[in-house]
Amino acid sequence: MTETWTPLKLLAWTQGYFSRTGVDAPRLTAELLLARALGCDRVRLYLDFDKPLGPEELARYRELVKRRGEGEPTAYLTGAKEFYGHALRVDARALIPRPETELLVETALAALPDEGAALDLCTGSGCVAVALALARPRARVTAVDLSAEALQLARENAEGLGAQVTLLEGDLFAPVPAEARFDVVTANAPYVPTGELAGLARELRREPRLALDGGPDGLAVLRRLVRDAPPFLRPGGALLLEMHESHATPLPALCREAGFASAEVRRDLAGLPRLVVARAMG
Question: Do 128 and 245 reside in the same domain of the chain?
Answer: yes
Distance between CA atoms of 174 and 187, rounded to whole angstroms? 15
CA 277, 245, 101 angle in degrees (round to 5)?
60
Q: Give the whole-number percent of the chain exceeding pLDDT 70.
A: 99
CB 88 within 8 A of CB 157: yes
Q: Please, which pLDDT band fits residue 269 given cuts at 50, 70 and 90?
A: confident
The alpha carbon dihedral of 32, 37, 41, 43 has a sign of negative
Question: Do 28 and 106 reside in the same domain of the chain?
Answer: no
Distance between CA atoms of 110 and 181, rounded to whole angstroms? 18
- Can you give the residue range of the structural domain that contains 225? 84-279
Question: Do 66 and 195 reside in the same domain of the chain?
Answer: no
Determine the average pLDDT of the residues in 233-254.
96
Question: Do 155 and 230 reside in the same domain of the chain?
Answer: yes
Distance between CA atoms of 26 and 232, rounded to whole angstroms? 45
Determine how β-strand 117-121 pairs with β-strand 182-187.
parallel
Question: Do 116 and 66 reside in the same domain of the chain?
Answer: no
Give the number of domains in the chain: 2
Question: What does the pLDDT look like over 189-206, one tens digit per residue?
Answer: 999 999 999 998 888 889
CB 130 within 8 A of CB 142: no
Residue 117 has pLDDT above 80, yes or no: yes
State residue 2's pLDDT score.
61
Lowest mean pLDDT among 38-52, 66-80, 217-231, 250-264: 38-52
Nearest-CA neighbor of 77 among 66, 87, 86, 85? 66
pTM of the model: 0.91
Question: Do 62 and 126 reside in the same domain of the chain?
Answer: no
Question: Do 147 and 252 reside in the same domain of the chain?
Answer: yes
Question: Do 242 and 143 reside in the same domain of the chain?
Answer: yes
Question: Do 107 and 205 reside in the same domain of the chain?
Answer: yes
Determine the average pLDDT of the residues in 163-186.
98
- 270 Cβ neighbours under 8 A, 6+ residues apart: 100
The answer to whether position 79 is within a domain reads no
Cα 154 to Cα 16, 64, 79, 137, distances in angstroms: 36, 25, 14, 17
**Inter-axis angle of helices 7-21 and 55-69, nearest 10:** 20
Nearest-CA neighbor of 167 among 179, 149, 191? 149
The answer to whether position 245 is within a domain reads yes
The answer to whether position 2 is within a domain reads no
DSSP state at residue 138: T
Q: Determine how many CB atoms are found less than 10 A away from the CB of residue 138.
A: 10
- 3 Cβ neighbours under 8 A, 6+ residues apart: none
CB 142 within 8 A of CB 120: yes
The answer to whether position 76 is within a domain reads no
Question: Do 45 and 158 reside in the same domain of the chain?
Answer: no
Determine how β-strand 117-121 pairs with β-strand 140-145.
parallel
The answer to whether position 46 is within a domain reads yes
Question: Do 61 and 114 reside in the same domain of the chain?
Answer: no
The answer to whether position 16 is within a domain reads yes
Question: Do 48 and 101 reside in the same domain of the chain?
Answer: no
